[in-house]
A and B are shown apart, each in its own frame.
Chain A
Amino acid sequence: MSDPNKEWPLWEVFVRGKGGLSHRHVGSVHAADAKMALEHARDTYTRRMEGVSIWVLPSAQITASDPADADALFAPAEDKVYRHPTFYKIPDGVTHI
């Protein structure tokens, strides 16, 4: 249980730059627990008022898409141009649409 060579787990850090913005990933820290992860994130990523709120979450808890699947996931959207407003021709003179 107490293996001296075991490092503290990795946490991903998300910072809300200011009210009205969503939290954005800024980097990661090592910490023994969530409280320490918040403290380390504060010292490492917000020394110049870069944020008003921090989220930390164990890196191991993130499920990410595989870049190898990027085509299968995202390419189908490519031929669905009708999802964009510019696909539709509105006659000149028709406004507010």
Chain B
Amino acid sequence: MYTTDLSGKKKAEAVAEDPAKLAAFEARVAADDFIEPKDWMPEAYRKTLIRQISQHAHSEIVGMLPEGNWITRAPNLRRKAILLAKVQDEGGHGLYLYAAAETLGVTRDEMTEALLSGKAKYSTIFNYPTLTWADIGAIGWLVDGAAIMNQVPLQRTSYGPYARAMVRICKEESFHQRQGYEIMMRLASGTAAQKRMAQDALDRWWWPSLMMFGPPDDKSPNTEQSMRWRIKRDTNDELRQKFVDISVPQAEAIGLKVPDPALKWNETRGAYDFGAVDWEEFYSVVKGEGPVAKERMQARQKAWEDGAWVREAARVHAEKRAAAKLAAE
């Protein structure tokens, strides 16, 4: 999902590293030791982490948009307060992660610039529109659910600041998922029209949620290295299967149906068999062809440009005050 490498199919290029340092590093990581910002690390590890963490941060930030779209139209005050708190949490998640990436030597502005110029990727899921209130339920339940599944193992990832950000994020995510499921539960037990609305949201969000785990394992060339470096702890397909197995009974419990005719419990595997994901759609959304990809980037650009004078005024004011204080001493 957010933490899935979306950078394309090419393998990370090899840089010549000091073999003794590299061996010591690999041994530390293999022993589940944590790597901290100033420790020696191979360039490829640093680069992969910067890409992965900043991509995750961008996803949190862009992820505020589809839900922010419904804050003013939440059906009651309780729902509005909850949604506001959730969207604020997502902003916080973005900030924890940007700060973690900054410890690797990239600046916040460089990351912002990469996002706004379209160079950096973010999770494809946020390029789908939120058409009805039920979408807010489906996002909390499925999208945050998939996020949790992906993020829980990363609490033990090898890079200390990333692992610590993950611990904080995971603590906050389960409220996100539960409030979403509660919305779906309410709608599913409401009028026929409300139930239809819930089912429609599930129909539209199910497959994009499965895509959040990233391409199938045989199409993820960097998985092996990332697993060895403990910056990925389960493969995309393993997590996807786990997600299906957990979510199907949750849908059934509230009388909704997962939109997959091939879905079937497999007694021997002790898991669900499920239909093929449309990877063509996935790759086109990664490339920025998602239904609302342009709107999302325009919204981020506008926020950045509209805030420019505030950022500058605050900085100049602080510099003036610091200079005046110095002069008075």
Point out residues on A near B: beta carbons under 8 Å. Answer: 1-2, 4-8, 10, 27-30, 32-33, 36, 43-44, 47-48, 64, 66-68
User: How far is A67 from B92 in the complex, measured between Cα atoms in Å?
Assistant: 30
B-chain residues with CB within 8 Å of residue A32 when the two chains form the complex = 314-315, 317-318
Is A27 within 8 A of B36, CB to CB?
Answer: no
Look across to chain B and name the residue whose beta carbon is closest to the beta carbon of A65.
B38
B316 CB, nearest partner CB in chain A, Å: 5
Stretch in contact with the other chain, from B102-110, B194-202, B222-230, B247-255: B102-110
Is the beta-carbon distance between A27 and B165 smaller than 8 angstroms? Answer: yes
CB within 8 Å of A: which B285-329 residues: 308, 311-312, 314-319, 321-322
Q: Of B36, B99, B107, B314, which one neighbours A28 at CB under 8 angstroms? A: B99
Min CB gap B326→A, angstroms? 14
Nearest A residue (CB) for B319: A1
A28, B16: Cα distance in complex, Å: 33
Interface residue? B26 (CB, 8 A):
no
Q: How far is the CB of B168 from chain A (nearest CB, A)?
A: 8
User: Contact at B316–A1, with CB atoms within 8 Å?
Assistant: yes
* A68-B39 Cα distance, complex, nearest whole Å: 8
Q: How many Å from the CB of B95 to the closest CB on chain A?
A: 5
Across the A-B interface, the 8 shortest Cβ-Cβ residue pairs: A32-B314, A33-B318, A32-B318, A28-B99, A7-B109, A32-B315, A67-B38, A67-B39
B20-45 CB contacts (< 8 Å) to partner A? 36, 38-40
A54–chain B nearest beta-carbon distance, Å: 15
Cα of A8 to Cα of B322 in the assembled complex, Å: 14
Residues of the B chain whose Cβ atoms lie less than 8 Å from the Cβ of A30: 108
Instruction: Report B-chain residues with C-beta under 8 Å of the C-beta of A8.
Output: 311, 314-315
Interface size grouping (class) on chain B: 20 to 34
Q: Does B89 contact A (CB under 8 A)?
A: yes
User: In the bound complex, do residue B321 and residue A47 qualify as a contact, i.e. CB atoms below 8 Å apart?
Assistant: no
B96 contacts the other chain (CB 8 A): yes
Given A10-B102, A33-B318, answer yes or no on A4-B38 (Cβ-Cβ < 8 Å).
Answer: no
Given contacts A47-B88, A47-B92, 10 further A-B contacts (CB under 8 A): A2-B315, A7-B109, A7-B311, A10-B102, A27-B99, A28-B102, A32-B318, A36-B318, A43-B88, A43-B92
- Distance, CA A36 to CA B108, complexed state (A): 17
Q: Assess whether A7 is in contact with B92, with CB atoms less than 8 Å apart.
A: no
Q: Whole-angstrom distance from the CB of A48 to the nearest CB of chain B? A: 8
Residues of B within 8 A of A6 (CB): 315
B40 proximity list for chain A (CB < 8 A): 67-68
Q: Which of A5, A29, A36 lies in contact with B99, CB distance below 8 A?
A: A29
CB-based contact A66/B92 at 8 Å: no
Residue pair B88, A27 in contact (C-beta under 8 Å): no
Q: How far is the CB of A55 from chain B (nearest CB, A)?
A: 16
Complex alpha-carbon distance, A6 and B88, angstroms: 26
Least CB distance, A51 to chain B, in whole angstroms: 13
Given the complex of chains A and B, what is the CA–CA distance between A32 and B321 in angstroms? 11
A72 CB to nearest chain B CB (Å): 15
B88, B311, B315, B322, most chain A CB atoms within 10 A: B315
B96 lies within 8 A of A27 (CB): yes
Q: A70 → chain B, closest Cβ, in Å?
A: 9
Nearest B-chain residue to A30, judged by Cβ: B108
Q: Which residues of the partner chain A approach B172 to less than 8 Å between Cβ atoms?
A: 48
Query: What would be 25 A-B contacts, judged by CB atoms less than 8 Å apart?
Result: A1-B316, A1-B319, A2-B312, A2-B315, A2-B316, A4-B311, A5-B109, A7-B107, A7-B109, A7-B311, A8-B314, A27-B96, A27-B168, A29-B99, A32-B315, A32-B318, A33-B322, A44-B92, A47-B89, A48-B172, A64-B38, A67-B36, A67-B38, A67-B39, A68-B40
